Amino acid sequence: MKKYTDVDIVAELQKLVDSHVDSYKEDFDIDKRIIRRAAESQNPEDKTLMWFCRPHGTHCLNENQVFIQGTRDHNTFRFYAEQTYDECVARVIVPKAVKRGKVFGDVFEVNYREQAANVAQNSVAPDHDRLTFADGYVLEAPCRSSFDAAMALIGEHGGVKTRQTLPKDAEALSEVLTKQKSRRDRLPEADRTEVLSPLPVAELRKYEAVKKAHPDALVCFAQNGYFELYGKDAKKAAPLLGTKLLEKKVRGKPSMPVTGFRESAWVAGSHKLWKSGADVFLSKDGETFKELKAADYIPVGATLNVDGIKCRIDAVDFAADEVRLTNIEDKNRPIRFSESIQYVRSYVEDAGTAIYDTIPKKPAARESIRDKLKSAQKAQPPHTPKPQKNKGKDMEL
């Protein structure tokens, strides 16, 4: 068991959802809201959450309530350990702050079934419920009758905003929670390795369809806030992007090479790939996000003003970082020369889209006279001879 301090909590848990949850993944959207509220809360009792996932969903519970017998959080956490054989993965999370729209804090690994036994053994007895209504009114009532009492007051005070069960022995609960914290704080710090989230099989199939449609392009596939490249594309892209080549896990399949860049940096990332002379295709949510054709980076055949001189782009050698041009200002004395790709590209960008209109169109293939005659002959209606009238007498048989 290890701990991860000052990390993007949602991103850490998303990896587990991707690799362990098969259905009801939308449960995690509810968890995200709970996690954010905990980060923004000023109440220390809201700050520690117990989260776990299973093949058919996720749960995010308040640690304070988990260790009080009979609460919904307590019963939920124990249920899947005691009543099912579900494979569950659990974490204790402590949201601390919201930065740039992300919730940062600490994540602690725990063994779900061992922790469920720990909850069953060390929980304290409940005393009563405290309910806070939409208008701020607070009701304290016995646990068994608090629901009925709340329903009678909703019309006057609005819906119930929060519900908290208080323990009979607050000091005993505090001691239990202190021991839990001390135990997890002693966990060793996890190694900070750069590993992208696993790729679900369904997403792999979507990627394979996009790659099949664009076999010659470097396909950048949106996943968890990144544009990722896989396999041979990743091996080619990593040195161009200056990123590491990592391993991508695919559930039930061998892992594969992966690299990528953040979605927010798609302009810089895709341009690094594009200027290498590659077609680049960015796919997100099953749609084309951006497509960059290598032929458009330095358009061969186009006319371009380079440092005030009218030139024709003859060829591009990306490996040699060279563009071959011809000075065409004097048609009788064309002068050929070369410049770097980056230098010429700056003039292409200055010219804008108009430069692509200067590329000569390929002449249509000439049709031979024989082919024209054949086409004309096929177009004519078939000749049918006219019937001849019999000028003589009819013959009798």
For 147-173, the pLDDT digits (tens) are 888 898 998 899 888 888 999 999 999
* 315-339 average pLDDT score: 92
User: Predicted confidence band at 393 (pLDDT cuts at 50, 70, 90)?
Assistant: very low
**Quick check: 78 pLDDT over 90?**
yes
* 314-326 average pLDDT score: 93
What are the tens digits of pLDDT across the range 217-244?
Answer: 999 999 988 999 999 999 999 999 998 8
For residue 251, what pLDDT is reported?
74
User: Predicted confidence band at 392 (pLDDT cuts at 50, 70, 90)?
Assistant: very low
Q: What percent of the chain has pLDDT over 90?
A: 63
Measured distance CA(208)–CA(224) in Å, rounded: 18
Task: Between 203 and 397, name the one with better pLDDT.
Answer: 203
**Quick check: 189 pLDDT over 50?**
yes
For residue 395, what pLDDT is reported?
34
Let me know: does 145 contact 156? Beta carbons within 8 Å: no
Ramachandran bin of 224, using left for φ above 0, alpha for ψ from -120 to 50, beta for the remaining angles: left
**Quick check: 200 pLDDT over 50?**
yes
